[in-house]
Structure 1
């Protein structure tokens, strides 16, 4: 019978019970502090608050090296910026070249200047970046999964050679245009149109995309539109900053993701050459495939954010406890 459980939140000694053995707790009406545990065999284990799931010991040496390298960069370079960036709702354009130099952009893809890490490796990158801030992770994820990704998966060899190396190196910034004011992220309700002009061999894109990460600072845009040349099916196009009819106003006053930049992609008959059509994507499969790729980084990022919350909550609790002891 256990009458007292001692908790140490730094490295917590707790009992672990054999799976399948019935636990029967009965609380005495005279004392709620005693618990009777029947038919139990226990042994000690430890809880590491910095690795709650015991993840690190399951990683390969290469994955652990990537995790540590990314963690060190994020803590040394991103963390000191984040409070100012959040308060001022400002995006530091140096972040993208830094990430490119570290090999974090386009990391899960092979060739074209990309690192070619495993899916777990890319998840570890997203985890460490969002451990600092969701805005930074969003910036990185859009560049990787939603810009480099569709060009890599759906683009021609010429498109891959032209765009991916500079995007992976952080020399250019990308944005992904799917969400619309009247359709949200439902591609089937998309209003943006691509009208084929046979005389100029170009598509004329008209429509508005909104809540687009990186929009106002991007050099390259992967935009989805319903193409009349393809029977109204959804097709992907690569646009570039400076093209006539393309505007990217910034959205201000966000409550979150303030360290990243968000805006619109407004298109008024933007002429897109035929060679900038993504040839290997058609219909809903194109944008949905991109979104599915992005979910991996988002989920790993959420893990990093949760771990950061645990870390800072623990630090605050220990500081408060120390202060209370000093005042007693």
Structure 2
């Protein structure tokens, strides 16, 4: 069911490309044997029939009355990808974007938390930027890493998504480097979180009725709340990624976290396990112009 998060004068709107991507536990977490007595091996986190972890692929709009940010851009449609679940997807992402009543020219900025294939793809179509007036913000260290020999080697498992989804933005003059703690627009700020990748960031969103941390890929699944020391095989620096995750889980205790890949409704608070934030969730299709008039 469509839903969004109400922060008063700010709305955070998920654009969900895949609400149930099933992953073998050992693919992301080598050697993991899920504890079937624990909360993270129940729905919506775990598909017991398949014996697989449940992930979401999504990105977010951060909307106020006079500003629209896109945070990450999923896999994107019609892209050649080596992972079967990402290859030549239909354009569900853009359909969801347009359903809000927004148009690409109304986006003020795009924020890339990091440059993995499932966070950048919908920002271009046929190697052209989708959002014609928006600067696309990324930490310089992140871009330099993926443009290096080490980054090229890391992309062998996915295919060179930089070429079709990031470099066209740079060539159009729309890629902008920002500090990992930069303010982004009127209601958001970046939070340094390097580890999963060299320039990884979170995005803190502040509204009149609450604050929410878009935690990106600092954690991928509930098992990492139970075991913060557990990093994925895809983390560039697993030790640092674990330190960042522990820092967030301790420092943001009681705060609303919205990790990108947690299953819907995704946002919640760490209270023993992970308690979904029912107090912020609004169900139904978010429509920007109607919401703006009402707010």
Structures share a fold, TM > 0.5? no
Larger relative helix fraction: 1
Larger relative contact order, structure 1 or 2 (CA cutoff 8 Å, min sep 6): 2
What is the TM-score with the length of structure 1 in the denominator?
0.21
The structure that has the greater radius of gyration is 1
Q: Return the structure number with greater strand share.
A: 2
